[in-house]
Amino acid sequence: MLEMSELGQMRTQLLAQLKDSRHDDAKKTLLLVGIGNPSKFKGVVNGEEGEVFLYDDALVFMPRSKEPLQLLYSFVEGLETDATGYHLTLKVRGTEPISLERFANRTGELSDSLKAKIGAARVRTSAFFSTLLPGLGPIQVRQISALLADGIACEASALDSVETDIFSTLFDLATIEPLKPLANKLASYGETWLGFKQRRSVEQKARGGEQWHDHTHGDIQDHGGLPPAPMGIGGMMMASTIANGPMWGSGYGFDGAFGERGSSLAYEMLGISMMGRSQGSQGLNSIFPGTNQTSHEIVQRAIPALNPLTLAKTNYEKLRLDGKRPAILSFLIVASGTKIIYRPLNDALDPTIVFTGSRSDVGAINRGLALIDFDVDAISDDSNRATSRFQTAIERISILRQLRATYQIAVLPSEPDARVEEAIKTP
Amino acid sequence: MHFRLFDSKGSLVDEGAGSVKFVAGAIVVVPEMGEPMTIRPNAIGNITEPAPFVVGIVQNDS
């Protein structure tokens, strides 16, 4: 243990930085789920004090010392508030309810924010399937969206009960061309599940609308007064001229008659010579030595491009399966005897993973994969304790340890398919 | 800043004056004399307040 005292005013800053760095690091090293920028709330979850982070797709609770709690909104079945209004209960598919309390005057905000985020996640899923399957009616799209909620795989027969052959249609749309032969072969090994998981945020922040500034011109000393008057006789002459016009005759100063060169001094003061562009030395400088005025041409006022205001919005068109970094991951799960196969369908770089388990374990493996954000490298990583970048996650995340315990083999698409077949046949 | 470092059995290992800073997300205690000590965020088990205005960092392995 390290104790630090006599920190003075740095103590508050240190504690805040410690908290932030722990969270930033935990997100990376513990393979925590969550996309987008989270809203933070401090309170008690399942009796543990800590911080709740509401991401676009998941709730992450970081207790002070224990294992973080992660919950994808797609697993939430309901949110209840007790009579006091200060105790929330989240009903979750497949696990015990989650209790949230002691959020003080932010309880209402937390509840509203949770409802809004859960709703928004469902809208994104619905929008994705609505675009992917434009020929289907709203009722079928709604049913499919419910079955294929974010990160949850659905069995082929359940999908086909909504619309005939919809599984094969979705399977075809979800699989990129180079992986089609492999995916078809894997699907032939047993019962199949298909799933989709959003991996990148499509929420766009508000932009623009900042204070207008003419970037084409330097700062103008508006209301800043005249340049400093020179010392001595020059300064006296300048002051006198501004008040009355030049000593050797009126008409050049501000008091000049309208239309009789009365405005020339004003132009001179702005640095614009009335005596020609190249005659700066004959302008104000010649009248007031030391003012260092330089003449220039009158130019058209610049029309600066205004920075347009863009409101915060959800970019539904970015919810795609194709492209270099698709926002949606599509995956296949196959249950074949005592083996479960996981295969990403639109990522040719990730391996096919074979787990030991029966049909009834598909849900648990699916949930585990969703909670490590489908980062399968963490499952197959066999580097030693000192060099493994997943060591902390393995030590602290029980679901990852369970996945690693059932993991059998990882086969890259570039490797022979026979290795997967061999693994399936191995008892 | 004054620091006191204890081992997993609670014995005092080092004590003295120094400074504290954050380097690439890790907290680094730099004693006035001696080697700095870097604690990565994932090595922090708990943050406590053993006495008023004292910050305690319990490491995972301590």
Question: Cα dist. A176→A187, A291, A345, A410 in Å?
Answer: 15, 73, 6, 20
First to last CA, chain A: 48
Does residue A111 contact residue A118 with C-beta atoms inside 8 Å?
no
**How many angstroms separate the CA atoms of A71 and A60, rounded?**
6
Cβ atoms within 10 Å, residue A398: 12
Residues of chain B neighbouring A385 (CB-CB closer than 8 A): none
Assign A46 a pLDDT band (cuts: 50, 70, 90). very high
Could you count the other beta carbons within 10 Å of the beta carbon of residue A301? 9
d(Cα B27, Cα A148) in Å, to the nearest integer?
43
Nearest-CB residue to B27 (from A1, A11, A18) = A18
Partners of A64 on chain B (C-beta within 8 Å) are 46-47
Amino acid identity at A211: Q
Could you give the percent of chain A with pLDDT greater than 70?
A: 76
Structure tokens at A190: 């047993």
For residue B61, the chain A residues in CB contact (below 8 A) are: none
User: In chain A, what are the domains?
Assistant: 16-120 (2.30.29.30), 137-203+315-425 (no CATH), 227-311 (no CATH)
Asked if A77 contacts A83 with a C-beta cutoff of 8 angstroms, the reply is: no
Tokens 């935990």 belong to residue: A26
Domain boundaries, chain B: 2-59
Task: Return the number of CB contacts < 8 Å for A and B.
Answer: 92
Q: Judge: B51–A11 Cβ closer than 8 Å, yes or no.
A: no
pLDDT of A271 > 90? The answer is no
Residues 6+ apart with CB under 8 A from A371: A33, A70, A72, A397, A399
Nearest chain A residue to B56 by CA: give it. Answer: A3
Per-residue pLDDT reduced to its tens digit, A387-425: 777 887 887 788 888 999 999 999 998 888 788 888 888
> Which is more confidently placed, A4 or A33?
A4
3 state DSSP class of A209: coil
Chain A residues near residue B26 by CB distance under 8 angstroms: 21
ipTM for the assembly: 0.83
What percent of chain A shows pLDDT beyond 90? 40
Answer yes or no: are the C-beta atoms of A34 and A55 closer than 8 Å: yes
The average pLDDT across A355-383 equals 89
Q: Which of B55, B57, B59, B62 to mutate: most A Cβ within 10 Å?
A: B55
**Mind listing the pLDDT tens digit for each residue in A215-270?**
555 555 555 455 555 666 666 666 666 555 554 544 455 555 555 555 666 666 66
Please check whether residue A88 is in contact with residue A107, taking contact to mean a CB–CB distance below 8 angstroms: yes
Predicted confidence at residue A278, as pLDDT, reads 44
Interface residues on B facing A, Cβ-Cβ cutoff 8 A: 1-6, 10, 20, 22, 25-27, 29, 37, 39-42, 44-47, 50-51, 53-59, 62
